Amino acid sequence: MPELPEVEVIRRGLKNEILNKRISEVKVLSKNTVKPNSRTFAKELKGKSFLDIDRIGKLLIFELSDKIDFLLVHLKMTGQLIYTDQKEMIAGGHETKPRSSGRLEDVLIEEDLIERVGGRLPNKFTRVIITFNKRGSLYFNDMRKFGYMRIVDERELKKIKSAFGMEPRTKEFTKEGFIKAIKTRNKSIKAVLLDQSIIAGLGNIYTDESLFLSKVDPRRKASSLTDKEISALYKNIEHIIGKAIEYKGTTFSDYSDAKGNKGNFSELLQVYGRTGEKCKICGTKIEKIREAGRGTHFCPKCQF
C-alpha cells in the first residue's frame, strides 16, 4: 500500500545510505520478482553502484553507474525496501541466532532493528538482497510477491515515464491542468484520482482522504464537479501529500521506510480505515462502499 508519500520517504532515506557504494553481491531468492531473469539481473548490477535515486508516482528509479541502465522498483501492495549495515543481520538467516559482537552499541542497534522490522533480516518474505562493498545490504521484502525489480535502458525508461500523468507537488501539477484533467472525464472522481495515467502517485488512502477534505462524494462523476470543488481538491491533494511526507507516511500494515521505521500519518486519517467510527467533523458514522473496484471510505453527511 505504499503510495507517493511512502515511496518518497523511502527514496530519501535510501539516498542517504547507498549512493556510490559498489554492489558486491546480488542474491535473488524469488526468481519471478526480478526481470528479465535472475542471472541477467544480478550480472547487470554487480560491480556497479547507484548514482542517484529518482521517483515517478509510486515507481522508484535507481540510476546505475554505467550511465546506461536503470533499476526500477515497484513495491505494489506489500513491498518493503530496507537498508541495514548490521553484519549480524546479513550473516544470520532466519533460522540462525544473531551473532552479535557483544558490544553494547551493536546489541542496541540490532535490537532496535528487530523491533522496527519485526524480526531479523533476511526474513521469509525477503525476495532480493543487494549487498554493497561486502557490508551493508538492501533487502527487498514482499509478502505477496506483487512487487518487482527490473533493469531497463534509457529508451524503455522514457516509455514507462510517459505513461504517467501529472504528479502532485511538481511544477507540472497546475490548478488549470488539474481542472481540465478532472472535467474531461466521465468516470467517477475516485476512479480518476486512482488512475496513474491521469494523476500519478495517489492510492486508495490519500484518494479517500483528499475527497473527504474536499467534501466530495467519491461516486460523483468527475465531470460533474464544479470549478470550486476541483480547486478545493487540488489544494487538499497538495496539502495531504506534503503532510504525509512530513509524517513519514502512513503505516497500515506492511509499510516501513528505508530503515524499517513506521510512518506516523495514520493518526491523522479522517476516513480511511475508520469504517463505523464517528466522522471527526459531524459525528456521523463513516461508511465503506465499493467504488472503482476499491474499498472506499467516506462520510455520508459531509461529502456530497
Q: Which residues are catalytic?
A: 2-3, 58, 294
Question: Is 274 among the residues that bind DNA (CB under 7 A)?
Answer: no
Which CB sits closer to DNA, 62 or 125?
125
Using the rule CB under 7 A, give the single segment among 107-115, 167-175, 184-192, 260-268 that binds DNA.
184-192
Site for DNA in 158-177 (CB under 7 A): 163
Residue among 46, 187, 235, 239 that touches DNA (CB under 7 A): 187
Residue among 15, 74, 169, 259 that touches DNA (CB under 7 A): 74
Radius of gyration of the CA atoms of the chain, in A: 21
Instruction: Mention every residue, 6+ apart, whose C-beta is less than 8 A from residue 191.
Output: 222, 291, 292
Give min distance, CB of 102 to DNA, in A: 32
**Residue for cell digits 480511511?**
272
Residue among 114, 143, 166, 179 that touches DNA (CB under 7 A): 143
Give min distance, CB of 73 to DNA, in A: 12
d(CA 209, CA 92): 41
Residue among 292, 298, 299, 303 that touches DNA (CB under 7 A): 292
Binders of DNA: how many residues, by CB under 7 A? 37
Which CB sits closer to DNA, 69 or 209?
209
Which CB sits closer to DNA, 294 or 301?
294
Question: Is 1 among the residues that bind DNA (CB under 7 A)?
Answer: yes
Give min distance, CB of 196 to DNA, in A: 5
d(CA 128, CA 102): 28
Residue among 185, 220, 239, 259 that touches DNA (CB under 7 A): 185
> Taking CB under 7 A as the rule, which mask of x and - marks residues 112-141 in contact with DNA?
------------x-----------------
Give min distance, CB of 297 to DNA, in A: 8
Give min distance, CB of 203 to DNA, in A: 2
Q: Interface residues with DNA (CB under 7 A)?
A: 1-3, 32, 57-59, 74, 76-78, 124, 143-146, 163, 185-188, 191, 194, 196, 203-205, 221, 252-254, 288, 290, 292-295
